[in-house]
């Protein structure tokens, strides 16, 4: 464990680098931070911190910058004592903005990612809920034009799937209403996996008079059910990465953006350690080379007491950890509260 003086010097360097992104020397620390010791003493402490792996020395500068090990110590200390410094007015504004998008869960999560990116100035990411045992609330078949049918499927979690399907033959609104009513009478309240089995084994037989229509619609309904169960990922503030000098190299920035846009990769990262309330990975702690210069902060959100999704940010390792952790945690708590209030069965 570092002694108190080394910690003060290290935290001063971290604070300066988070703010300015420039290496800092002992003389600057002595002038800028009232540590009660000479610049020579600070220089010796910095040398010790470098030997211990907490500081790095860029070859183009006489100053030092924090290492991933330093940020980890800093964050672990923060997590023991962190207090939210987001004022009540801003909290209320965030919640009001989230409440504008409560008709569908997907909209809520996408809006949350947008708000998080705006208040942190980093790239935000979020995944939609994994609710494996959600149940069917409603199916509606609506005629449009030119033999097209709009299929609306809603589950009890508020997730909606709209699909337009073109029929080869004309079918009346009355017939579609009759099919919709029958499907709802048989399928409402069943879990989505049971809905798929029921449709495949029973529906076609019982709706024999509409077999041509139903036979074409069943695959569309099954596909929509699969999409409801599929995890969706939202990212916002992708261009924020260009605001940081670490990514002034356009090729490096584009590599990171391409990585974030890979849904399968990002879902895999977010689902790792899925049930940890707050997860912070710093620099080399990340498994992928594209994230070695980044920190990832995520928080889980819950539905009916169960962890169902995650929201978080990606930014440079010198990110503002205090405000970012507060913001991510606040958004996750608000999502959980809204889900429980508006989407309970």
How far apart are the C-alpha atoms of 309 and 197, rounded to whole Å? 27
Q: What is the mean pLDDT of residues 215-233?
A: 73
pLDDT of residue 151: 86
pLDDT of residue 158: 64
Q: Across the beta sheet with 123-127, what order do the strands follow? A: 233-236, 123-127, 306-316, 294-303, 278-282
Q: pLDDT-based confidence at 328, cuts 50/70/90?
A: very high
Label each residue of the chain as H, E or C. Answer: CCCHHHHHHHHHHHHHHHHHCCCECHHHHHHHCCCCCCHHHHHHHHHHHHHCCCEECCCCCCCEEECHHHHHHHHHHHHHHCCCCCCHHHHHHHHHHHHCCCCCHHHHHHHHHHHHHHHHCCEEEEECCCCCCCEEEEEEEEECCCCEEEEEEEECCCCEEEEEEECCCCCCHHHHHHHHHHHHHHHCCCEHHHHHHHHHHHHHHHCHHHHHHHHHHHHHHHHHHHHHHCCCEEEECHHHHHHCHHHCCHHHHHHHHHHHCCHHHHHHHHHCCCCCCEEEEEHHHCCCHHHCCEEEEEEEEEECCEEEEEEEEEEECCCCHHHHHHHHHHHHHHHHHHHHHHCCC
Looking at domain 136-229, its CATH architecture is: 2-Layer Sandwich (3.30)
- CATH 3.30.450.40 for domain 87-130+231-342, yes or no, is yes
Residue 65 and residue 17 in contact, taking contact as beta carbons nearer than 8 Å: yes
pLDDT of residue 101: 59
Q: pLDDT-based confidence at 102, cuts 50/70/90?
A: low
pLDDT of residue 312 exceeding 90, the answer is: yes
Could you tell me the residue ranges of all domains in the chain?
4-80, 87-130+231-342, 136-229
Please state the pTM of the whole predicted model: 0.75
pLDDT of residue 306: 78
The CATH number of 4-80 is 1.10.10.10
pLDDT of residue 150 exceeding 70, the answer is: yes
pLDDT of residue 107: 87
Structure tokens at 80: 């023991």
Q: Across the beta sheet with 160-166, what order do the strands follow? A: 136-143, 148-155, 160-166
Q: pLDDT-based confidence at 10, cuts 50/70/90?
A: very high
pLDDT of residue 227 exceeding 90, the answer is: no
Query: pLDDT tens, 40-89?
Result: 999 999 999 999 999 998 876 678 999 999 999 999 988 777 666 666 77
Q: In angstroms, how far is the first alpha carbon of the chain from the final one? A: 50
Return the C-alpha torsion angle 181, 184, 185, 189, nearest 10.
Answer: -160
The backbone torsions φ and ψ at residue 246, rounded to the nearest 5 degrees and listed phi first, read -60, -20
- Greater pLDDT, 62 or 98: 98
Q: What is the mean pLDDT of residues 182-198?
A: 79
Highest average pLDDT, of 33-47, 70-84, 144-158, 264-278, comes from 33-47
């Amino acid at each position: 464990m570092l002694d108190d003086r080394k910690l003060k010097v290290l935290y001063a360097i971290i604070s300066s680098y988070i703010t300015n992104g420039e290496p800092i020397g002992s003389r600057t620390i002595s002038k800028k931070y009232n540590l009660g010791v000479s610049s020579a003493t600070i220089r010796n402490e910095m040398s010790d911190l470098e030997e211990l792996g907490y500081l790095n020395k860029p070859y183009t500068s006489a100053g030092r910058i924090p290492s991933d090990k330093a940020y980890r110590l800093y964050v672990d200390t923060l997590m023991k004592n962190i207090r939210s410094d987001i004022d009540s007015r801003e909290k209320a504004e965030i919640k009001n903005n989230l409440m504008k998008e409560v008709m569908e869960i997907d909209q809520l999560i996408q809006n949350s990612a947008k708000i998080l990116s705006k208040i942190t100035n980093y790239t935000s990411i979020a995944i939609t809920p994994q609710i494996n045992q959600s149940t069917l609330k409603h199916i509606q078949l609506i005629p449009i034009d030119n033999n097209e049918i709009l299929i609306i499927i809603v589950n009890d979690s508020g997730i909606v799937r709209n699909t337009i399907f073109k029929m080869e033959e004309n079918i009346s609104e009355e017939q579609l209403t009759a099919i919709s009513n029958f499907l709802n009478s048989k399928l409402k309240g069943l879990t989505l996996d049971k809905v798929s089995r029921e449709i495949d084994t029973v529906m076609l037989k019982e709706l024999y008079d509409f077999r041509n229509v139903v036979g074409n619609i069943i695959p569309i309904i099954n596909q929509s059910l699969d999409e409801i169960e599929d995890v969706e990922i939202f990212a916002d503030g992708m261009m924020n990465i260009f605001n940081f000098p670490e990514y002034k190299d356009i090729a490096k920035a584009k590599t990171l953006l391409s990585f974030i846009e890979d849904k399968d990769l990002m879902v895999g990262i977010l689902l790792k350690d899925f049930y940890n309330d707050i997860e912070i990975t710093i620099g080399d702690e990340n498994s992928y080379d594209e994230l070695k210069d980044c920190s990832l902060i995520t928080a889980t959100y819950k539905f009916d007491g169960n962890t169902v999704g995650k929201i978080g940010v990606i930014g440079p390792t010198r990110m503002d950890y205090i405000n970012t952790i507060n913001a991510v945690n606040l958004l996750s708590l608000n999502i959980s509260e809204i889900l429980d209030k508006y989407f309970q069965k």
